Amino acid sequence: MIAPGIKRGTAELAVLSVLQDGPLHGYELARRIERQTNGALRFTLAALYPMLYRMEQQRWIRGSWETSANGRRRRCYRLTPAGKKKLSPLRREWAELFRALQRLTKVAHA
Amino acid sequence: MPDWHELVRQRLSGLALDAAEKQEVHAELASHLEESYESFRREGLSEQAGLNRTLAQVENWQDLRRKICAAKKEHFMQSRLRQLWIPGFLTLILSMLFQFALQKEGFQPRIVSWVGPGTVLLPWLVSLPFFGSLGAYISLKGGGSRGTALLATIFPVLALTAAFLLMFPIGLMIQWVRGSQGDFSIVATVLLRDGIGWLLVPGAALLAGGFSAVILFIRRSSSHHAVIV
């Protein structure tokens, strides 16, 4: 079982990484993450929005209402300068963690 | 197809947010559910199956309501503490301590004349832009907006204003209890005179410091941002 802290960390990294490519609304954001991770990371509505609201409060992302071409109003999220700043150390931390785990599993199998 | 907005509104009833924010959350979640449902239908699911799969995204609406509230409020409270209360109280305490220190050192308030003779402690007044800029800087460092930083800057004046406004009715009540006839015009003149000397002028001095800190901070962050880009 993955601890909530680790889960939250990966989820935040996923959201920030995907938003780096451009603004997205919640539903599309979840779809994009699912597609780009081949279904390994899936966000239900119940998991996604509390996290988006928390990240918004931390000013890593900013949401604003936009009307699409078909007249549908959606809240689009974009990365803020603080979010961009947060992304690079977060990526580094996770890369380090994955490298450490890989080393560990290699040693375990050797 | 169900009325998603109404469905969300009912299931999230009791969401402890202000009306506008609640409306936004309802609209956003309803829009998400609607898109999920439409996507399931496009994949070929029947109405009922689409509906079931869509609603399965939220196992426990009460839990979701609690999580949304926590996400929206928890950080807000922490931010308010870091961006307003701590810098505000620090500005108040430091400026008051400096004032006491000056008076202990023998500096006396100077008599100046605006609406009648009033008093002002000149060295204290000169120090206020520094305390104001310190309050604003701490607020901005804590992620405060320009408005919050300026509010933290003038926090000592707001606290003094509250004290002044409390003194007025309390003074009138004391006079009424004692049975003496108070002259309202004298009280009002004293309040106005001291209000200028101890509230308006110090407020302007604090704001001057706060504004300069805000401008410097914004310039610094924008030049730093330019380097990163």
pLDDT digits (tens, 9 = 90+) for B56-66: 999 999 999 99
Contact call for B31 and A25, based on CB within 8 A: yes
Q: Is A99 near chain B, with CB under 8 Å? A: no
Q: Which residue has the higher pLDDT, B20 or A108?
A: B20
Among A8, A33, A49, the strongest candidate for a mutation testing the B interface, having the largest count of B CBs within 10 A, is A49
**Chain A residues within an 8 Å CB radius of B60:** 46
Whether the predicted interface score ipTM is above 0.90: no
What would be the CATH architecture of the domain defined by A4-109? Orthogonal Bundle (1.10)
Query: Based on the number of CB atoms within 10 Å of its own CB, is B214 exposed (0-12), middle (13-18) or buried (19 or more)?
Result: buried
DSSP-derived secondary structure letter, B105: T
**Chain B residues within an 8 Å CB radius of A45:** 29, 32-33, 36, 57-58, 64
Question: Where do the structural domains in chain A lie, given as residue ranges?
Answer: 4-109
Query: How many CA atoms lie less than 13 Å away from B162 in the CB half-sphere?
Result: 5
CB pairs under 8 A between A and B: 64
C-alpha span between B212 and B153 (Å, rounded): 11
**Chain A residues within an 8 Å CB radius of B76:** 57
Which tens digits make up the pLDDT trace of B78-117?
778 888 999 999 999 999 899 889 888 887 776 666 555 5
Residue type, B62: Q
What's the pLDDT at B226? 44
pLDDT category of residue A6 using cuts at 50, 70 and 90: low
Full-prediction pTM beyond 0.90? no
Contact call for A46 and B63, based on CB within 8 A: yes
How large is the C-alpha radius of gyration of chain B?
Answer: 28
Contact call for B68 and A25, based on CB within 8 A: no
Q: Which residue from A25, A57, A81 is facing B76, i.e. has the nearest CB? A: A57
